[in-house]
Amino acid sequence: MNEKVRDRKLEELKTQLEFYRDLGVAFLVSPRKPKGPRPEARADSPLLLSYSSGGGQSTADQAEWERLIRKIMACQACPLFKGRKQAVPGEGNRRAQLMFVGEAPGRDEDLQGKPFVGRAGQLLTRIIQAMGFSREEVYIANVIKCRPPENRTPKPDEIRACSPFLLKQIELIQPRVIVALGKVATDFFLQSPKSMSELRGHFGQFQDVPVMPTFHPSYLVRNEGNKEIKKMVWEDMKKVLELLKS
C-alpha cells in the first residue's frame, strides 16, 4: 500500500471513528447480525442477496421483483418522471430484516440510480455499519422513486402515485423492522400530526411491522456540529437493535 492510499484510509477511519464518538456509540457491534440470517436466506446459503442477483429468492419472487423494477423505471404516473435522469427503486437484501426508508432521491442518487449515495447517504452507511450491518444486508429505499426538482419535498399526489411501489417492496421483503428517515417517510407510515422530535424514538406500527421514526441523515448533515441530534439517532437505532435481538 503506498503512502497516499494509506493516508487516505487513515483519514477515512478517523472520520468514521469521530462520527461514532459523536453518535455516542459505546462499542462497535459485531458485523454479524444480532439474530442471524432469516431462515429463508439460510436455505440457499448466500445471505447477501444483492439488488440484482435475486439469489435465495423463489423464482416467483424474482419475477415479481423484475416486474416491479421494470415498472418503476418506466413509470410516468406523476410529473416527476419528466425531470429525472433515472428512477431509483432502492437496493439491498431483498429478504432483509431491516429496511430503511427515506424521502426521495437527490441529485447524486438521480445520477447514479442508487439510494442514499450523497453526503447524507455516507452518514446513513456509517450508521448502518455502527449497527453491525453492511448496506448489502439491509434494504434501502425511498417513498418517492424520482427526484423532485431542486430536491423539494414531494407533493401529496406524487406520494400517492408512487406509494404502490414501496408497498410492494415491503410486501416482498417482509422486514421485521422499518426505520423511517425523516418526516415524509414517517408520515407515510404513521400519519401523525406530531413533530419528528415527538415521534422519534418511539415505535409505531405499519401493517404489523414496527416502524422506528428517526431524523433524516440530511438533517444530520445540515446540523453537522450538533452532537445531540446524532446521539438521538443512535438511541433510536439501539432500540431497533434491541427489537431485532428479541
User: Which residue, 80 or 96, is less far from ligand SF4 as judged by CB?
Assistant: 80
Minimum CB distance to ligand SF4, residue 129 (Å): 29
Considering the rule CB under 6 A, would residue 207 count as an interface residue with ligand SF4?
no
Considering the rule CB under 6 A, would residue 162 count as an interface residue with ligand SF4?
yes
- Binding part of the chain for ligand SF4, among 33-41, 51-59, 71-79, 190-198 by CB under 6 A, reads 71-79
Q: Are strands 209-214 and 204-206 parallel, antiparallel or unpaired?
A: antiparallel
25 Cβ partners below 8 Å, 6+ apart?
Answer: 130, 234
User: Which residue, 34 or 90, is less far from ligand SF4 as judged by CB?
Assistant: 90
Binds ligand SF4 (CB under 6 A): choice among 48, 77, 111, 196? 77
Which residues are registered as beta bridge partners of 100?
Answer: 140, 179
User: Which residue, 71 or 176, is less far from ligand SF4 as judged by CB?
Assistant: 71
Minimum CB distance to ligand SF4, residue 125 (Å): 24
Q: Measure the N-to-C terminal CA separation of the chain; round to a whole number of Å.
A: 43
Minimum CB distance to ligand SF4, residue 161 (Å): 4
186 Cβ partners below 8 Å, 6+ apart?
Answer: 180, 192, 196, 199, 211, 213
Minimum CB distance to ligand SF4, residue 159 (Å): 9
User: Which residue, 85 or 231, is less far from ligand SF4 as judged by CB?
Assistant: 85
Q: How far is it, in rounded angstroms, from Cα 93 to Cα 4?
A: 34
- Binding part of the chain for ligand SF4, among 49-57, 69-77, 92-100, 232-240 by CB under 6 A, reads 69-77
DSSP states along 151-192: GPPPPHHHHHHHHHHHHHHHHHH--SEEEEESHHHHHHHH--
Question: How many CA atoms does the CB half-sphere of 171 hold within 13 Å?
Answer: 10
Q: Which residues bind ligand SF4 (CB under 6 A)?
A: 72, 75-78, 80-81, 87, 144-146, 158, 161-162
